[in-house]
Structure 1
Amino acid sequence: MTGRYGCRRRRFGRLPALALSLLLSCSASAAEVPASPKLQPAEITTAATQAMILSAARAGKRIVAVGNHGIVLLSDTDGGEFRQAASVPVRSTLTAVFFIDERTGWAVGHWGIVLRTDDAGESWKVQRADTSVDQPLFSVHFRDKDHGWAVGLWSLLISTDDGGKTWAPVRLPAPPGAKKADRNLQKIFANRMGTLFIAAEQGMILKSYDGENWSYLNTGYKGTFWTGIVLNNGTLLVGGLRGTIYRSTDDGRTWKESKSERKSSITDFAETGGKIVAAGLDGVLLESVDGGASFQGTQRDDRLPHTALCVNGSGKLVKFSKQGIVKDPPNEPSK
């Protein structure tokens, strides 16, 4: 889950105009994101629940999910039914959403967009946009109603201390062996003490106690991490390409690769009912009952790519995909 009311969302590899939507299907086309866009409101459509969803979060009992074309979906029935938010001021891809309480939340996405809602996702307002260059934001996290951070392409890291009214760049040090900070930053998350972590490219995890001064943690992995989570017991998990999951039980000082029987890239994590669940592409879901040390998996017959997870108010997992909300086929055998 993302933050106090979070579910979460995973991120992407290194591609031009980076986004998971491009990685999965190249569906974020030039027609959807023009070269020099004007901010236009998202269209209301009956097909909203079939849009690619890239992130979901809890706003109290409500589930709020975001994705392609600026679509925001809301559910007040624990994920049983969704409706489209009536007022979203952009129709570009939204990549992540985070709520600090049952009403106040932020969404980020392409063109460096930051949106804020104060009514649990019913309506949104633009707090930041940069249409001069499509340097997308991939993840957002707030410590409280004032202090927040968002991360994205080419080591883009911005912070706010006024609830998102203004945003300032945070200068990162160069990674070990590099001349400048240019890694794609995929997912920002925090532990209960407020320590911040960022899952990034080339096996890098960034860590900060104050959001301004950052260090790099060496996991020993060379590929891209897309997502991360801090478990209820403080254990860190990060996941990425080809089913790779790494685990740390000492606040990131040392890392060990988790055992997994599947090689489907990891897009999201959730913790519920004493289990950790990892969502993967190719219709894969992995489960761990030993704190993330090992995972066993199942795969859907249709190979529908899982893109985001959310735990509803009853502790049940709600899954999202390239084709919107995932409805499990009845009695589908595990493989």
Structure 2
Amino acid sequence: MGVFFGRYVRNGPKGQGGNVFKGIKAAQPLRTVSSALVLLAAMMMLVTGRAAAEEMQPAATGRNVAKALLLDAARAGERIVAVGERGIVLYSDDEGASWSQGQVPLDTTLTSVAFADERRGWATGHDAAILATQDGGENWEVQLWEPDLDIPLLDVSFQSPTSGFAVGGRGNLFRTQDGGATWTNQVLLTRDEFDSHLFGIGQAPSGSYFLASEQGVLYRSDDGGTNWVQLDSPYHGSFFGVTFAPEGRVIAFAMLGHVAVSDDNGETWQMVPTGTDKSFMSATVTSAGNIVLAGLDGVVAITRDGGQSFEIHGQPSRRKFSRLLPTRDGAWLAFGEAGVKRITLDVK
């Protein structure tokens, strides 16, 4: 079920009368989860009583940015853009052979990035941060930054240059219909009035939106994100994201190697064994329709049949991957610990 708690509008710089926020409950420390989920901990800033940032500081720079923790990456046309700790944004125009750093006015950890086209993109991060770029990731501006909320935003999705969502801690779901000039906040509560953390959002071929959340909570919206219903879930651990097979199957991936699939737009679900107990952090759908899940400790799960079965592949380095992207020459880029690594996967 969707519960509308407030509205946030940012029309100008903070401190100049441009920020209005009404109706949301006071910020509270985030709940903690398993310390074994290192990448998730980095995304969630799982520290109780963390003091909010007092003023904006530009992103970290220097020679070490190439080895920073990177939490997400996306394509902006032919360019690859990655985001991570301390506000670092890296972009590559040669399929990951070399990287340049974008100009970011905020040093908060960035957790997710998405592009509506080759130039217009958005990134989310800690302190309820939403940043936007108009030049493919070279320069960024802050659209939303509310450190007093004490929540991270963990995923961003744009279906067009004007319509998008950003989701995160304690059920916060921000929505824009004007390219981020204004953001409206919905706080989703479960059936038992629990404000579970929202980890991932995606749009199915059916047009419905799906949300992945903690404690086995899954949501669906059939009206473009205005109203949400909580679905009956087959699993009670945290779902970290949703992806979709080309024929429409909904695939929700979770902690400890769990995957749930639905062939009726989320009405019913079944668990699919994957052969691993490593948590899955992201999904990539290839041009051939195969799906690749990035897991902790270098585990990669590949499904070539739309989620009916999975092959498990391990990487010798056992690095924790947050995102995998294919390159034009058939290799893959693995983003996570110590930056980006080029790996080989037998999947197209």
Counterpart mapping for 1:253-272 below 5 A:
253-272=267-286
Does structure 1 residue 230 correspond to structure 2 residue 247?
no
Following TM superposition, by how much is the alpha carbon of 1:96 offset from its aligned partner in structure 2, in angstroms? 0.5
Following TM superposition, by how much is the alpha carbon of 1:315 offset from its aligned partner in structure 2, in angstroms? 5.8
Following TM superposition, by how much is the alpha carbon of 1:193 offset from its aligned partner in structure 2, in angstroms? 4.5
Does structure 1 residue 124 correspond to structure 2 residue 137?
no
Counterpart mapping for 1:157-168 below 5 A:
157-168=173-184
CA distance in 2, matches of 1:317, 1:303: 16
Structure 1: runs of 5 or more not aligned: 1-12
Counterpart mapping for 1:157-306 below 5 A:
157-172=173-188, 174-176=189-191, 178=192, 180-209=193-222, 210-272=224-286, 273-306=288-321
Following TM superposition, by how much is the alpha carbon of 1:67 offset from its aligned partner in structure 2, in angstroms? 0.7
In structure 2, do the counterparts of structure 1 residues 14 and 270 end up closer, same or farther at CA, with 3 Å as the change threshold?
Answer: farther
In structure 2, do the counterparts of structure 1 residues 181 and 162 end up closer, same or farther at CA, with 3 Å as the change threshold?
Answer: farther
Counterpart mapping for 1:22-41 below 5 A:
23=40, 35-41=52-58
Deviations along 1:94-150, whole A, 9 cap, x unmatched?
A: 010010111101000100000000100000000001021321111111222112111
Deviations along 1:226-272, whole A, 9 cap, x unmatched?
A: 12112222211111110011111221111111121111000111122
CA distance in 1, matches of 2:110, 2:130: 9
Deviations along 1:159-192, whole A, 9 cap, x unmatched?
A: 11111011111243x423x0x2401100011123
CA distance in 2, matches of 1:26, 1:167: 22
Query: Counterpart of 2:83 in structure 1: which amino acid?
Result: V
Q: Which residue of 2 aligns with 1:71?
A: 88
Following TM superposition, by how much is the alpha carbon of 1:56 offset from its aligned partner in structure 2, in angstroms? 0.8
Normalized against structure 1, the TM-score is what? 0.85
Does structure 1 residue 328 correspond to structure 2 residue 343?
yes
Structure 2: runs of 5 or more not aligned: 1-29
In structure 2, do the counterparts of structure 1 residues 42 and 50 end up closer, same or farther at CA, with 3 Å as the change threshold?
Answer: same
Following TM superposition, by how much is the alpha carbon of 1:25 offset from its aligned partner in structure 2, in angstroms? 6.6
CA distance in 1, matches of 2:96, 2:316: 22
Asked if structure 1 preserves the Cα contact closer than 8 Å seen for 2:331 and 2:343, the reply is no
Asked if structure 1 preserves the Cα contact closer than 8 Å seen for 2:332 and 2:342, the reply is no
Asked if structure 1 preserves the Cα contact closer than 8 Å seen for 2:285 and 2:292, the reply is yes
Q: The residue matched to 1:47 in structure 2 has which SS?
A: helix
Q: The residue matched to 1:48 in structure 2 has which SS?
A: helix
CA distance in 1, matches of 2:174, 2:312: 36
Q: Which residue of 1 aligns with 2:16?
A: none
In structure 2, do the counterparts of structure 1 residues 143 and 271 end up closer, same or farther at CA, with 3 Å as the change threshold?
Answer: closer
Q: Which residue of 1 aligns with 2:75?
A: 58
In structure 2, do the counterparts of structure 1 residues 191 and 103 end up closer, same or farther at CA, with 3 Å as the change threshold?
Answer: same
Asked if structure 2 preserves the Cα contact closer than 8 Å seen for 1:28 and 1:68, the reply is no
Query: What number of residue pairs does the alignment pair up?
Result: 310
In structure 2, do the counterparts of structure 1 residues 261 and 158 end up closer, same or farther at CA, with 3 Å as the change threshold?
Answer: same
Asked if structure 2 preserves the Cα contact closer than 8 Å seen for 1:61 and 1:312, the reply is no
In structure 2, do the counterparts of structure 1 residues 80 and 284 end up closer, same or farther at CA, with 3 Å as the change threshold?
Answer: same
Q: The residue matched to 1:326 in structure 2 has which SS?
A: strand
Query: Counterpart of 1:46 in structure 2: which amino acid?
Result: R
Does structure 1 residue 310 correspond to structure 2 residue 310?
no
CA distance in 2, matches of 1:288, 1:318: 18
Asked if structure 2 preserves the Cα contact closer than 8 Å seen for 1:270 and 1:278, the reply is yes
CA distance in 1, matches of 2:329, 2:164: 28
Following TM superposition, by how much is the alpha carbon of 1:275 offset from its aligned partner in structure 2, in angstroms? 2.5
The alignment's C-alpha RMSD in Å is 2.5
Query: Counterpart of 2:247 in structure 1: which amino acid?
Result: N
Asked if structure 1 preserves the Cα contact closer than 8 Å seen for 2:252 and 2:259, the reply is yes
Asked if structure 2 preserves the Cα contact closer than 8 Å seen for 1:113 and 1:128, the reply is yes
CA distance in 2, matches of 1:102, 1:92: 24
Following TM superposition, by how much is the alpha carbon of 1:89 offset from its aligned partner in structure 2, in angstroms? 0.9
Asked if structure 2 preserves the Cα contact closer than 8 Å seen for 1:14 and 1:184, the reply is no
Deviations along 1:291-327, whole A, 9 cap, x unmatched?
A: 1111121222231111112233456432112211023
CA distance in 2, matches of 1:147, 1:239: 25
Q: Which residue of 1 aligns with 2:59?
A: 42
In structure 2, do the counterparts of structure 1 residues 144 and 327 end up closer, same or farther at CA, with 3 Å as the change threshold?
Answer: closer
